[in-house]
């Protein structure tokens, strides 16, 4: 398979009055043609910040990309000017955002919002674009699309609004779709329909998908490769089958233990295992590993030196001292301060 996207050493910061937050710190991911990459992690771990960095849609200020590269079709997206990047968005790379009600324009009809994409990227007439919008609504399973293109977002249900977002994203048959929590706040039945729809559209045009979620079940069902994030770091990446059969990082192992076991009978006295403690304060990150205070296998080196993302097995990497040799001591904090200034 040919590589569609490669992110190398990407760091994104938010500069606030209280200090600097590393929302994404040295992230490295890649995705192949026709593949789905699942990015999983709890709220605030940097999943959405990574997606917005790839799309160059970070609110600036306070956010900015500090370092790294985002290689797409042989070009580094971070080196493109604003006009060149606008040509990439919607045509080559599209994104489905978390909350469609805040992503759709409340004062424009949904047909006009879909048509805007083809008018911008394909220079179609208004009639051609609206006719295509009808076909896109039909493709994503919205009944009576000729009527629905005249509706405003508030007239649609949550599931229908999410389908409109998918229609907008798919209008120009992008090579890469970034789906950021596409099933948030939808009931289980609608969630399944949305995931099936994305999978069907992906197969029809050989599109690649980055599926961002906190739901391990969605990753298991839809993805071929997986990335686990924690406090701005990529702490593990592997083929999905390997991640679920033999997770390496203690954080990933904790996530797996917290999943309900379908073979076990639960009653009112049963409790799922939880990961103790809380995510570290991003303004005051600990020296060494960021998971140290929640890890049941912490070692002395974990509190002194940051681990690096190391290949443990073919295609399976983890950021953990359980699998690495002692590196040169010293913290990266001073290095980061120099990079910021």
pLDDT average, residue stretch 299-312: 94
User: What pLDDT was estimated at residue 331?
Assistant: 38
pLDDT at 333 over 60: no
User: For residues 59, 62, 68 and 73, what is the CA-based torsion angle, rounded to 10 degrees?
Assistant: 10
**What is the structure's pLDDT at 329?**
36
**End-to-end C-alpha distance for the chain, whole angstroms:** 41
Using the predicted structure, report yes or no on whether residue 339 has a pLDDT greater than 60.
no
Confidence of residue 211 (pLDDT cuts 50, 70, 90): very high
Tell me what the mean pLDDT of segment 171-175 comes to. 90
| Residue bearing tokens 């606008």 | 86
Considering the domain 1-92+174-278 in this protein, what is its CATH number? 3.40.50.300
Q: Say what the pLDDT of residue 94 is.
A: 94
- The sheet carrying 63-72 orders its strands as 19-32, 3-16, 63-72, 75-76
Mean predicted lDDT score pLDDT of the chain: 89
Q: Is 284 exposed, middle or buried (0-12, 13-18, 19+ CB in 10 A)?
A: exposed
Query: CA-to-CA distance for 337 and 67, rounded, in angstroms?
Result: 13
pLDDT at 340: 47
Q: Kindly tell me if the per-residue pLDDT of 116 is higher than 60.
A: yes
What is the CB neighbour count within 10 angstroms for residue 324? 16
Instruction: Return the percentage of the chain with pLDDT > 90, whole number.
Output: 66
* pLDDT at residue 10 greater than cutoff 70: yes
- For residue 338, pLDDT beyond 50: no
Average pLDDT (149-160) is 92
8 Å CB contact between 249 and 228: yes
- Binned at pLDDT 50, 70 and 90, residue 193 comes out as confident
- How does residue 310 score in pLDDT terms, banded at 50, 70 and 90? very high
Tell me the per-residue pLDDT of 124-134, one tens digit each, with 9 for 90 and over: 999 999 999 99
Q: What is the pLDDT of residue 258?
A: 86
Task: For residue 274, give both structure tokens.
Answer: 């939880």
- Domain boundaries along the sequence of the chain: 1-92+174-278, 102-171
Eight-class DSSP state of 264: S
Q: For residue 273, what pLDDT is reported? A: 83
Average pLDDT over residues 100-111: 89
Of residues 259 and 38, more confidence is placed in 38
pTM of the model: 0.88
pLDDT at site 299: 94
Give dist(CA 248, CA 236) in Å, integer.
7
Mean pLDDT within 14-22: 93
The string of pLDDT tens digits covering residues 29-65 is 999 999 999 999 988 899 999 999 999 999 888 999 9
Q: pLDDT band for position 107 (50/70/90)?
A: very high
Token pair in block for residue 239: 């083929």
What integer pLDDT is reported at residue 12 of this predicted model? Answer: 97
pLDDT of residue 269: 67
pLDDT for residue 336: 47
Residue 84 has a pLDDT of 93
pLDDT of residue 325: 61
- Average pLDDT (337-341) is 44
Contacts of 72 (CB under 8 A, 6+ apart): 4, 5, 88, 92, 93, 176
Among 210, 103, 117, which Cα is nearest to 165's?
A: 103
């Amino acid at each position: 398979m040919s590589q569609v996207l490669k992110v190398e050493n990407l760091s994104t910061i938010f500069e606030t009055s209280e200090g600097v937050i590393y929302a994404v710190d040295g992230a490295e991911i890649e995705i192949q043609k026709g593949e789905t990459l699942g990015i999983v992690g709890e709220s605030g771990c940097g999943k959405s910040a990574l997606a917005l960095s790839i799309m160059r849609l970070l609110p600036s200020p306070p956010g900015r990309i500090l370092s790294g590269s985002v290689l797409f079709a042989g070009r580094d997206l971070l080196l493109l000017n604003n006009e060149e990047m606008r040509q990439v968005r919607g045509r080559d790379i599209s994104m489905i955002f978390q909350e469609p009600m805040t992503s759709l324009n409340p004062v424009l009809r949904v047909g006009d919002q879909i048509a805007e994409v083809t008018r911008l990227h394909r220079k179609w007439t208004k009639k051609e674009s609206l006719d295509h919008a009808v076909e896109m609504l039909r493709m994503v399973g919205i009944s009576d699309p000729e009527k629905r293109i005249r509706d405003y977002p508030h007239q649609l249900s949550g599931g229908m609004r999410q389908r409109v977002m998918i229609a907008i994203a798919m209008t120009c048959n992008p090579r890469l779709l970034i789906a950021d929590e596409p099933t948030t706040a939808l009931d289980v039945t609608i969630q399944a329909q949305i995931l099936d729809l994305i999978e069907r559209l992906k197969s029809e045009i050989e599109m690649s998908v980055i599926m961002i979620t906190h739901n391990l079940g969605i990753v298991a069902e839809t993805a071929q490769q997986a990335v686990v994030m924690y406090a701005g770091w990529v702490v593990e990446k592997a083929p999905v089958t390997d991640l679920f059969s033999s997770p390496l990082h203690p954080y990933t192992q904790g996530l797996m233990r917290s999943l309900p076991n379908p073979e076990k009978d639960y009653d009112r006295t049963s409790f799922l295992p939880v990961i103790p403690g809380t995510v570290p304060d991003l303004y005051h990150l600990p020296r060494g590993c960021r998971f140290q205070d929640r890890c049941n296998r912490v070692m002395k080196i974990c509190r002194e030196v940051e681990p690096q993302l190391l290949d443990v097995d073919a295609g399976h990497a983890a950021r953990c001292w359980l699998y690495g040799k002692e590196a040169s001591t010293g913290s990266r904090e001073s290095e980061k301060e120099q990079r910021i200034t």
